[in-house]
């Protein structure tokens, strides 16, 4: 039979677990989180009919595909900040350069922080249309969400068109800083307040 004492101990254990899991916003379960984000790309319903581009996402286990043509670097790289599973996430936007645009089969998007094994990659293959032309030079393209990011942290992003004559290191990186926990989840989110959590823990410990 469970004594009240052991009941309190299990409460303490539960609280401890909760605090640990909400306190750290780091890098486990990267891939698994990608789908649980609920981000939807805004449709371009602004009167003017805009050309849209959709991708099929694959993983980056294949080596980077080199080609015979020069494809220039992308322009107008920007970011949307969102929250997925109580962690920071980012969607990358860009436009293809008109120079070499007809040779593009897709894009690789890399996101990394200072930690060398914290690199994430998306391999995006053109789905509709299969081939771009000059009319798509200012179409805004979007990655899928990069999730499981740390709040208030600097990241480097590289958008690489393929198959290009140049390897990845030719393409210049862009930089972003993720939003704070308070901005993304609201000032009252418990996730943003490890301090309050410790306080609950302290109270529960004194009960135990």
The size of the chain, in residues, is 208
Decide if residue 35 touches ligand NAG (CB under 6 A). Answer: no
Provide, rounded to whole angstroms, the least separation between the CB of residue 25 and ligand NAG.
25
Query: Strand, coil or helix: what is 65?
Result: coil
The closest residue (CB) to ligand NAG is 61
Of the candidate residues 3, 61, 63, 206, the single one contacting ligand NAG (CB under 6 A): 61
Decide if residue 142 touches ligand NAG (CB under 6 A). Answer: no
Residue 85 near residue 36 (C-beta atoms within 8 A): yes
- Between 125 and 200, name the residue whose CB sits nearer to ligand NAG: 125
Number of H helices, E strands in the chain: 4, 11
Of the candidate residues 45, 169, 195, 207, the single one contacting ligand NAG (CB under 6 A): 169
Half-sphere exposure of 45 (CA within 13 A, CB side): 3
Of the candidate residues 13, 38, 58, 175, the single one contacting ligand NAG (CB under 6 A): 58
Provide, rounded to whole angstroms, the least separation between the CB of residue 173 and ligand NAG.
14
Of the candidate residues 95, 144, 147, 150, the single one contacting ligand NAG (CB under 6 A): 95
Pick out residues in 103-132 that bind ligand NAG (CB under 6 A).
129
Of the candidate residues 24, 42, 54, 135, the single one contacting ligand NAG (CB under 6 A): 135
Decide if residue 78 touches ligand NAG (CB under 6 A). Answer: no
- Cα distance between residue 159 and residue 34, in whole Å: 19
Take residue 153 and report the two structure tokens written for it.
Answer: 């942290």
Decide if residue 138 touches ligand NAG (CB under 6 A). Answer: yes
Take residue 161 and report the two structure tokens written for it.
Answer: 């068109």
Pick out residues in 175-194 that bind ligand NAG (CB under 6 A).
none
- Cα distance between residue 172 and residue 185, in whole Å: 32
Decide if residue 21 touches ligand NAG (CB under 6 A). Answer: no
β-strands 120-128, 146-149: how paired?
unpaired
- Cα distance between residue 185 and residue 191, in whole Å: 8
Rounded alpha-carbon distances, angstroms, from residue 6 to 12, 20, 51, 124, 166: 10, 21, 63, 52, 64
- Match 């972003």 to its residue by tokens: 176
- Between 156 and 183, name the residue whose CB sits nearer to ligand NAG: 156
Which residues make up the interface to ligand NAG (CB under 6 A)?
58-59, 61, 75-76, 95, 129, 133-135, 138, 167-169
């Amino acid at each position: 039979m469970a004594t009240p004492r052991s009941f309190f101990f299990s409460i303490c254990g539960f609280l401890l677990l909760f605090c640990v899991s909400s306190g750290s916003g780091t890098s486990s379960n990267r891939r698994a989180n990608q789908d649980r984000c609920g981000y939807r790309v805004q449709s371009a319903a602004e009167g003017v009919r805009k050309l849209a581009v959709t991708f099929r996402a694959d993983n980056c286990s294949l080596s980077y595909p080199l080609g015979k043509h020069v494809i220039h670097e992308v322009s107008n790289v920007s970011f949307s900040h969102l929250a997925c599973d109580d962690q920071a996430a980012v969607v990358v936007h860009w436009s293809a350069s008109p120079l070499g645009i007809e040779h593009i089969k897709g894009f690789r998007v890399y996101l990394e922080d200072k930690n060398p094994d914290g690199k994430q990659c998306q391999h995006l293959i053109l789905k509709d249309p299969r081939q771009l032309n000059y009319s798509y030079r200012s179409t805004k393209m979007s990655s899928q969400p990069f999730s499981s990011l740390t709040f208030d942290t600097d990241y480097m992003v590289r958008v690489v068109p393929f198959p290009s004559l140049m390897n990845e290191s030719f393409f210049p990186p862009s930089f972003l800083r993720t939003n704070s926990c308070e901005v993304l989840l609201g000032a009252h989110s418990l996730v943003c307040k490890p301090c309050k959590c410790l306080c609950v823990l302290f109270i529960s410990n004194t009960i135990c």
